[in-house]
């Protein structure tokens, strides 16, 4: 008698993408820590599926920068060095500032409404200590300005950079958010845009990254150490 399939078979092409999202969430929330091996057999057992879609999901995650493949060692959560983290965040800060500068003279009421909505959602997530929700709306806040500026290549690049740093942001927020004001990371940017000062908003965005980067690096290194990765 044939076994019942664990996952629906009518749309097999979607299975690797489903697994990609599931593994992605486990990487971001710290269940799978920086540098931790992602053994295909263990993932098969966790998700109740065969090795082929697991491997395809891991290769998709490798393209996003969340997973790395090492010859003869297999896949593991990407472990960034301190230098790589500083380079990624420096690039993200400059690109975010560039996107905000493009709003000079074109800040709209529609954009401000979206930013205020993100602000309200971050306040709710902060009150509930919902780290994932908070991080998602903070990401939306900073990508909104780039989208309104109509710079699609910049939006695509920033989206990829945000994806790379998502585990780092989550680890840092998990350690630090309770001790910070809910609007620590966007207050000055929002105030500047409300005042029509896009250039000041750009400087504030850059300053936020520089101010919090040491804490991000420290929290990330501690998480990697807990996984026994050096």
User: CATH number, domain at 60?
Assistant: 1.10.10.10
Q: Is 70 helix (H, G, I), strand (E, B) or coil?
A: strand
Radius of gyration of the CA atoms of the chain, in A: 19
CATH number at residue 200: 1.20.120.530
Please give the Cα distance from 95 to 146 (Å, whole number). 9
Same domain for 104 and 218? yes
pTM: 0.87
Instruction: Determine which helix (DSSP H) or strand (DSSP E) holds 56, and give its type and residue range.
Output: helix 51-64
Q: What is the pLDDT of residue 229?
A: 58
Comparing C-alpha atoms, which of 172, 171, 160 is closest to residue 61?
160
Same domain for 59 and 103? no
DSSP 8-state secondary structure symbol assigned to residue 3: P
Q: Give me 154's structure tokens.
A: 């910049």
Same domain for 59 and 104? no
Same domain for 72 and 183? no
Asked whether residue 5 is domain-assigned, the answer is: no
Asked whether residue 123 is domain-assigned, the answer is: yes
Q: What is the pLDDT of residue 228?
A: 67
Same domain for 57 and 111? no
Same domain for 115 and 210? yes
Same domain for 112 and 204? yes
Which regions in the chain score pLDDT beneath 50?
A: 1-12
Among 46, 77, 108, the domain boundary falls at 77
User: Residue written as tokens 């299975």?
Assistant: 15
Asked whether residue 1 is domain-assigned, the answer is: no
Among 21, 45, 77, the domain boundary falls at 77
Same domain for 152 and 56? no
Range of 161's domain? 82-226
Q: What is the pLDDT of residue 70?
A: 93
Q: Is 77 helix (H, G, I), strand (E, B) or coil?
A: strand
Please give the Cα distance from 212 to 132 (Å, whole number). 18
Digit-coded pLDDT (tens) for 94-107:
999 999 999 999 99
Instruction: Determine which helix (DSSP H) or strand (DSSP E) holds 24, and give its type and residue range.
Output: helix 15-28
Please give the Cα distance from 173 to 212 (Å, whole number). 11
DSSP 8-state secondary structure symbol assigned to residue 76: E
- Spell out a b/e string for 105-119, using b for 16 or more CB atoms within 10 Å of the CB, else e: eebeeebbebbeebb
Please give the Cα distance from 171 to 152 (Å, whole number). 29
Same domain for 141 and 172? yes
Q: Give me 24's structure tokens.
A: 């992605």
Domain count, the chain: 2
Among 56, 77, 98, the domain boundary falls at 77
Digit-coded pLDDT (tens) for 49-64:
999 999 999 999 999 9
Please give the Cα distance from 190 to 141 (Å, whole number). 9
């Amino acid at each position: 008698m044939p076994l019942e399939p664990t996952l629906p078979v009518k749309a097999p092409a979607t299975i690797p993408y489903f697994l990609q999202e599931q593994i992605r969430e486990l990487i971001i929330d710290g269940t799978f820590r920086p540098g931790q091996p992602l053994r295909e057999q263990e993932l098969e057992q966790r998700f109740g599926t065969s090795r082929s879609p697991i491997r395809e999901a891991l290769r998709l995650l490798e393209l996003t920068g969340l997973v790395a493949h090492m010859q003869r060692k297999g896949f593991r959560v990407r472990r960034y060095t301190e230098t790589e983290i500083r380079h990624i965040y420096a690039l993200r800060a400059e690109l975010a500032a560039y996107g905000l500068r493009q709003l000079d003279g074109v800040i709209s009421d529609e954009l401000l409404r979206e930013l205020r909505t993100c602000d309200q959602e971050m306040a709710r997530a902060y009150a509930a200590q919902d780290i994932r929700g908070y991080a998602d709306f903070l990401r939306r806040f900073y990508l909104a300005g780039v989208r309104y500026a109509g710079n699609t290549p910049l939006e695509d690049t920033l989206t990829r950079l945000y994806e790379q740093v998502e585990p780092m942001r989550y680890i840092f927020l998990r350690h630090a958010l309770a001790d910070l004001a809910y609007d620590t990371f966007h207050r000055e940017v929002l105030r500047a845009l409300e005042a029509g000062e896009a250039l000041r908003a750009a400087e504030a965005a850059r300053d936020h990254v520089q101010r919090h980067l040491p804490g991000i690096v420290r929290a990330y290194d501690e998480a990697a150490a807990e996984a026994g990765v050096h």
